[in-house]
Amino acid sequence: MVTASAPGKVFCFGEHAVVYGEPAIGCAIERRARVTVEERDEGLKVHLDDLTLDGFTVEYEGDSMGRPDVDVADSLVDAGVGYINEAIDQVRDATDEYDTGFEITVESSIPLGAGLGSSAAVVVGTIAAGAAEMGLELGDEEIARRAFEVEHAVQDGQASRADTFWSTMGGAIRVEGDDYERLDEVDNLPFVIGYDGGAGDTGALVAGVRKLRDEYDFAADTVSTIGDLVRSGQRALANGDLEEVGRLMNFNHGLLSALGVSSRSLDAMVWAARDAEALGAKLTGAGGGGCIVALDDSDDTMTALQYTPGCEDVFRAELDTEGVRLE
């Protein structure tokens, strides 16, 4: 029996623009999915416990999946088990062990579907723990690659390499096209996350930005401007100038709002954080609902968000410089 854990992530800067080859910077956060894998004779048994749903267990052989006897939507069961099935296929491929069964237990402190990379963390943790259970300790590059294959398969080819990379490597990472650079000088970012309990429709949001960008030169320029802002953000992060990082987060949020991906609850949380004198605040991820990230090492933003209507959950989630690890 082996346990591995892997962190979630936030976008500091650059979501949406990254789709068009602009740089983005994301940070692993101290919120982890812990995945325990134990070999067994045959079939899969999955226990999934997540912040945002009642835990459930399913047990099945091959494609015939049992339904858990709990009040959980089929779509959530399919999603959770879909990622784990594919991750176990990667474990089998890596270890050449196709006949054994596994019991997999997932405990995640990352809200599901909130843009914090919960699925990537579960997949990364499952691959690392599964391979280790079979006696093979995979390198980070291989874990990241195999985890991307899983997300690519489950998300109908719409996955980004970023989430699985961030979860595997930890720390602050700049991504631009296929290039990844770990920003080792960044080691302390006091993030506070506010969550409205919902989630935007990522596909529709990405399509909306694409339509604006195709139709208007000024929208295409706004996307490029985000890229330029990310370059300034990288310098501010490297200098440890958190006030400037916050100022740039605020600016980035406005540009995302212009592109139509903010929402009423996200803006309400962003303003609550700013009024609490957070250094900055922005939506993080696809938008349309979900999470904001604020920068504040005092408790004021936490308190303000707790009393903000529409904010369902608020937690501190500092930069996690460590990626996937065997526990």
Q: Which residues are catalytic?
A: 163
Does 224 interact with its own copies (rule: CB under 8 A)? yes
Does 21 interact with its own copies (rule: CB under 8 A)? no
DSSP-derived 3-state class of residue 63: coil
Cβ proximity to its own copies: between 168 and 265 the closer is: 265
Chosen residue from 67, 216, 240, 306 binding its own copies by CB under 8 A: 216
Does 212 interact with its own copies (rule: CB under 8 A)? yes
Does 269 interact with its own copies (rule: CB under 8 A)? no
Does 205 interact with its own copies (rule: CB under 8 A)? no
Cβ proximity to its own copies: between 161 and 274 the closer is: 274
Cβ proximity to its own copies: between 270 and 319 the closer is: 270
Cβ proximity to its own copies: between 87 and 226 the closer is: 226
Please tell me the distance from the alpha carbon of residue 223 to that of residue 299, in angstroms, as a whole number: 33
Contacts of 169 (CB under 8 A, 6+ apart): 28, 140, 144, 180, 182, 323
Please tell me the distance from the alpha carbon of residue 74 to that of residue 67, in angstroms, as a whole number: 8
From the list 262, 229, 260, the residue with the least C-alpha distance to 246 is 229
Chosen residue from 2, 268, 293, 319 binding its own copies by CB under 8 A: 268
Q: Which stretch binds its own copies (CB under 8 A): 6-14, 31-39, 123-131, 253-261?
A: 253-261
Contact of 153 with 86, CB cutoff 8 Å: yes
Please tell me the distance from the alpha carbon of residue 42 to that of residue 68, in angstroms, as a whole number: 19
Does 217 interact with its own copies (rule: CB under 8 A)? yes
What's the burial of 37, exposed, middle or buried (CB within 10 Å: 0-12/13-18/19+)?
Answer: buried
Interface residues with its own copies (CB under 8 A) are: 212, 216-219, 221-222, 224-226, 228-229, 232, 250-260, 262-264, 267-268, 271, 274-275
